[in-house]
Structure 1
């Protein structure tokens, strides 16, 4: 009777030690389509994953990110939602899949995602 309890306690201790050694992990990332419809509903720092889809020619710190699912659309009539992202750091390349942490800030005409960190996960050839 005591053996199952001992095994359970040891298993619980192993799980607790595993979490303690791992430390804080990366935040769960949202997709562009999750936040694009109502960016004002997201307060504080969040993490968004998407594909770099374009750059603002008049503002070198601004680029657009589309949802990863938009890669499946191959027709010219796709209605791709983009969120504008502003960074003080280096811009990702066209087609880079990025994980961006930051927050939405109100700007003229809507919201801009102000990036604190940008991590490039991989590149998708967008043919551009």
Structure 2
């Protein structure tokens, strides 16, 4: 009987350990709408989900990203944009992206600095 209890406890501990280890290094995915005008509350590395809406006229490595829901919005749209800096090849306007990185505070506000960016689909952004 003691052997069965010992095996059951070891199995439970093993499963709990496996679940915990599988979550290590996992990065939370957040949309532009969830961040809104409060990027300061996101201090850890996250994956930002959004749609590329345009380039900065001052720095082509900086793009404006809006919420995926806003990309299909026809009226009453909030259109919050988050500046994302990604020094490699930028996505195209209308590309839905997943960018992994962190927010950095500047004098003029916060900017999301992406270390990885992946295009997941494309939206036709008509005017």
1:103 aligned onto 2:102: yes
Q: Please, which runs of 5 or more residues in structure 1 have no aligned partner?
A: 1-7
> In the alignment, what sits opposite 1:51?
51
Deviations 1:20-43 (A, max 9, x none): xx8978634111111122111111
The residue that corresponds to 2:35 in the other structure is 35
Residue pairs, 1:1-128, within 5 angstroms: 27-75=27-75, 78-127=77-126
Q: CA RMSD in A?
A: 3.1
Q: With the length of structure 1 as denominator, give the TM-score of the two structures.
A: 0.76
Question: What is the Cα deviation at residue 71 of structure 1?
Answer: 2.4
For 2:42 and 2:84, locate their aligned partners in 1 and report how far apart those are by CA, in whole Å: 15
Q: Give the secondary structure class of the aligned counterpart of 2:110.
A: strand
How far apart, in 2, do the equivalents of 1:28 and 1:113 lie?
A: 15
The alpha-carbon distance between structure 1 residues 91 and 54, as it changes in their structure 2 partners (threshold 3 A), is same
Moved over 4 A (4+): 22-26
TM-score by length of 2: 0.76
Q: Which runs of 5+ in 2 are unaligned?
A: 1-7
